[in-house]
Structure 1
Amino acid sequence: MSSFFLSFKTKSGALGKKRKNLSQVKKKRDSKAIKNKKIPLATTIPTDEDEDIPSDSDTENKDYQSLGIDEDFSDREETAPEKRLRLAKDYLQQLKAEERGSSTEEDEDDDVDNDAIGRRLQEKALEKSGRIHKAVADQCTAPPLESIRFFKGHRLSVTSLALTPDGRYAFTGSKDSCIIKWNVEKGVKEVMITRGKEGAPGHTGHVLALAVSTDGMYLASGGTDNLIHMWNPLTCIHLHTFRGHKNSVTGLVFQHGVNQLFSSSLDRTVKVWNISEMTYVETLFGHQDGIIAIDCLSQEHPITAGVDKTIRVWKIIEESHLVYHGHKSSIDTVKMINDKNFVSGSQDGSVALWNSSKKKPQVLKSSSHDSADFG
C-alpha cells in the first residue's frame, strides 16, 4: 500500500517566528493575570455542579497529615506485631485474673503475684520447647489383662513397630519379611505388604526397622536386605527405594517437623536422606562397630548407640559429634526425652539416664533387667 505526506513550506523560518510570538503572548497574559490577582490558568475553577464543601473530617485529615500521621490510621488493618502485642496483653490480663481468683473483677496490679505469673510463663515456654520436667509417677502398674488387645498376623517374630501420629494405625515388621497395617481402634488387620519379589516391591529379608514421619505422609522400612523402602501409610503404595548401606539397616527415624530421614546400619554408618526429593544427602562415620539404635527430635542432632558400647550425638551442621561412655556391653536402645536428656539400655542389664552436657550418665541402674548370656 502506498503512502503519502504533506509538507508545508514556510519562508525562512516563518513558522518558528509564529511559535515564538505565541509564547510571548502567553507569558504576557499570565503575568497580567497575576498582577491583577486573577486565578492562574493552571487552576481549575469549580462550578456549582462539581464544587465540594469541606467537612470537619477533611480538616481533621489535614491536621493528621501535618503531624505525619496516616489519615487512614483508624481504618487500617492491625499489623502482625500489633496483634502479637495485643494478644500478649490479653494473655497477661487472663493470668492476672486467674491469680486473683476472679476473671471479672479488675483489682489493682499490686494484688497480683507477679512471681507466680512469671513462673507460669516460664513453664509455658519450656512446655512449648519440649524441655519441661513434670513429676508424673514414681511407680508403674501393669494394666488389667482384659484391657490388653492382642494382634496376630505374622508368621515369625515381630521385630519393629511404628504408630501414626494420630494413634489410629500401627505398622509392624517381622522376620517373615512382611509389614502389616493394623487398625488400632478396631483391632483388625487392614493391609499386609508381603515379601518382595520380581515385579512387586518389598523386603526379601527380615524387617528390622519402621518409622512414620511426623506429618503422617511417609512410612519407612529397613531390614537385612540392606534396603530402605518408602511407602504411603494411607494406601501402603510403594514410593521409592533407597540403596547405599552395605549391611543390615537396624534403625530409622524422621526428624520432627522435617521430611528428613536418618538410618543406622551394622555397616557402622548413619545415612541422611531427603524425603521430599527422595535423594541421598550424606553419610556420618564414627562408630567402631555396628549401630543398633537411633533416635531424633526436632533438632538436627540424631543420637545413636551400638555394639561398640558408645552413644553418639551427631551435630550435623557443625560436622562433629559427641561420644558418651557408661555401659559395659552392647547398647541396644536409646531414646531422647528432650534435646538435653536421653535414656539408654544395654545388654549388661543396665539402664542409664544422661544429660548431653555430661560425658557420664547422671543415673545408672545396674541389673535393672537380667542380663543375657551372649558369651
Structure 2
Amino acid sequence: MAGDPFLSDPARKRKRPARGAPGGKGSRGNARATRDSDISSGSEDMDSDSDSTHKHERDDGDVSSGEEFAEENAADKRRRLAKQYLHNLKQQQIQGDDFDAQDLDDELVARRLQDDVAENRGKMYKMLGATVAQQEASRRVLTARVGLKNVTGVAVHYPHVYTVSKDMELVKWTAGRHGKPRRARHCRGGPRFAAVDAKNPAANHHHGAINCVAASPDGRFVVTGGQDARLVIWALESLACLKVLPTRAPVTALAFRRGSDQLYAACADLRIRTYSVAQHAQLETLYGHQDTIVGISALAREGCVSVGSRDKTAMYWKIAEETRLTFRGGDGDGAGKPAKPGKPAAPLHCEGSIEAVAMVDETHFVTGSDNGSVSFWSLGKKKALHTQRLAHGVVPPPPPARASAEDSAALAARQVPPSQPHWITAVWAVPYSDLFVTGSHSGAVHLWRIDSASFRTFALVGSVPVKGCVVLIDGAELADPKRLVVYIATSKEHRLGRWLGPVPGRNAVVSVEFDL
C-alpha cells in the first residue's frame, strides 16, 4: 500500500524534476534504475526471491478478490450467495459426526429449499398419507383419563398437552415417548372468581365452563375461552394467570396464527375478535356470520377461516385487505329428488349446520357437518371441490319395542324412525400436507388422504377406534425421530350442548403415534 496517495506521507514525497534537467538527482536515479534492470535475476538470492514472489502473490490476491466482484450486478450477487449457501449446507451435512448416506438422502439440500419455498407460498408439500396408510396395524394408541366432567378442548405444544373441561379445570400433561400423557399441573376455577382482581392477575380464573384452549406457537402462552365471556391468558409452563380479557359473549373457539402471537377468538355474539397476546390487547373485530361461530382455523398468513353453525357458511377472512370470502354449504338440499334411470334415490340427509373446520394449506380447507358430510374447499371456487357424504356412517335404529308403544310388531316396525347420520364433531389437518383427520361419535376417527395429483378429491386411508364423542383433535410433527403424534379429546357428550344425548365412552385424551 506504499503507493496509495491516501496513505502516503506528503512530506516525504519528492517532486518530479523537469524533463531534460541536466545532472540532477532524477537523472542519477534513472541511471541507477537502468543499471538495476540490467542485472540478471539469477544473481539474486533464491530465498529473497521466493519471499518477494509470495508477497506479490498475496498482494495480487487481495486486489483480485476485491476486483472480482466489483462489476457484478444484483442478480449475479444473489446467484453467488445462493451457491455459497448450498455449499455451506452440504459441508454441514458431510462434516456431521454420525454421517449416514440415508440421512443425507432424506435431507437433500434441494428438497429443503423446495419445502421452504412451498411453505412460504402456503402450498401443500408434505405427502404423509401414503406413509400413514401403511401403518394401519402397527399404530400405537394410548388413553389417559382426564376427570369426572366432560372434556371440551385440547391443545398441543410438544412435549406438553393442555386440556380443558366443563368443570372449569385446566390441566397440563407431559407427553412421554411410547407412554401415555402424565398429569403435570392443573388449576380449577369456580364461582369465587366471578370478580376480576385487577391488582393481582395471578388470583383470577374462570367462573364458568371452559369451552376451548389454544397454545401459542412460541411456547409462552396458553389461552382459554369460557362460557363466562372471558379470555384468560396463562403462562405456558407454570399455568399462572397473566391477564383476563373480557368479551361480550361466550368464547366458542380459538386459533393462533402460525409463527405469531396473534390470536383469533370466535364468540357466540357472531363476531371474531383478534388479539395480540403478548401485548394483552384487542386488535380488530370481524362481522359477517348469522349464527354462533363454532369453529375457526388459521395458518401462517394474516387470515383465518370460520364456520357459522346453522347459517351453513364458511368464511375466509383476509384481515390485511379487510375483505372476506363466503362459501355456502347446504349439502343435501337437493337430495330426495327423483333419481335418474338406473340409479337409486339418494337418502334425504339435509345439512343443518357446519360444525368443524380445518385449514389444509393457505388456499384449501376442510369442513364437517351435522349430516355426516366432509367437504373439501378451495378459495378459487364457491362450491366444494369434493364432498364425502355419511363419512362416519349412520346411527343404528332403535329396536321397534323402544321406538313405538304399539303391541303389534308390524305396526311398531313401521314406526321406527329412519337412521340419522353421525355428526362430524371435529376436523384437524396436518398443516401443508395431504392428511387430515375427522372425528364423530361413531366409535372411530377416520384418516383421509387428499389426492396430491388433482387436489380435488380425498379418500379414506385408515381408522382408529375411539370410544366416546370426539370433541377436538390436535397434533404435532416431531423431527427426532420423525413421527406424527395426534391427540384426540373424547367426552360423553358434545362440547357445547347435550343434543347427542349420553354417548358411551369416557372423558379422556387418546394419543395416536405414526412413524414418518
Settle same-fold status: TM greater than 0.5.
yes
User: Shift of the alpha carbon at 1:355?
Assistant: 1.4
**Is 2:223 aligned against 1:220?**
yes
Task: For 1:71 and 1:354, locate their aligned partners in 2 and report how far apart those are by CA, in whole Å.
Answer: 55
Unaligned runs of 5+ in 2: 1-13, 27-48, 70-76, 92-100, 102-108, 198-202, 331-350, 393-420, 424-497, 501-516
Cα deviations across residues 199-255 of structure 1 (Å, max 9, x unaligned)? Answer: 631111111110001121110100111111111111111111222x32110111111
Q: What is the number of residues matched between the two proteins? A: 302
User: Shift of the alpha carbon at 1:256?
Assistant: 0.7
Task: For 1:133 and 1:145, locate their aligned partners in 2 and report how far apart those are by CA, in whole Å.
Answer: 20
Task: For 1:239 and 1:267, locate their aligned partners in 2 and report how far apart those are by CA, in whole Å.
Answer: 25
Q: Is the 8 A contact 1:206 1:224 kept in 2?
A: yes
Alignment of structure 1 residues 1-375 onto 2, 5 Å: 37-38=24-25, 55-56=52-53, 59=56, 70=66, 82-88=80-86, 125-126=117-118, 131-132=124-125, 134=127, 136-137=129-130, 147-153=141-147, 155-164=148-157, 166=158, 168-185=159-176, 187-196=181-190, 197-198=192-193, 200-243=203-246, 245-307=247-309, 308-327=311-330, 328-369=351-392, 370-371=421-422
SS across alignment from 1:150: strand
Task: Give TM-score, length-normalised by structure 2.
Answer: 0.51
Q: Which has the higher strand share?
A: 2
Task: For 2:387 and 2:262, locate their aligned partners in 1 and report how far apart those are by CA, in whole Å.
Answer: 32
Task: Give TM-score, length-normalised by structure 1.
Answer: 0.68
Task: For 2:282 and 2:113, locate their aligned partners in 1 and report how far apart those are by CA, in whole Å.
Answer: 42
Using the TM superposition, name which of 188-197 and 342-351 deviates more: 188-197
Q: Is the 8 A contact 2:248 2:269 kept in 1?
A: yes
Q: Is the 8 A contact 1:250 1:264 kept in 2?
A: yes
Q: Is the 8 A contact 2:364 2:378 kept in 1?
A: yes
Greater Rg by CA = 1
Letter in structure 1 aligned against 2:127: K
Bigger relative CO (Cα 8 Å, ≥ 6 apart):
2
Cα deviations across residues 102-161 of structure 1 (Å, max 9, x unaligned)? Answer: x9xxxxxxxxxxxxx9999757743675511626249698779994222233x3110111
SS across alignment from 2:259: coil
Structure 1 counterpart of 2:10: none
Q: Is the 8 A contact 1:64 1:71 kept in 2?
A: no
Structure 2 counterpart of 1:6: none
Cα deviations across residues 348-371 of structure 1 (Å, max 9, x unaligned)? Answer: 221111112111111112222424
Cα deviations across residues 70-93 of structure 1 (Å, max 9, x unaligned)? Answer: 3899xxxxx997453134368799
Unaligned runs of 5+ in 1: 1-29, 40-52, 74-78, 94-102, 104-116
Aligned CA-pair RMSD: 4.0
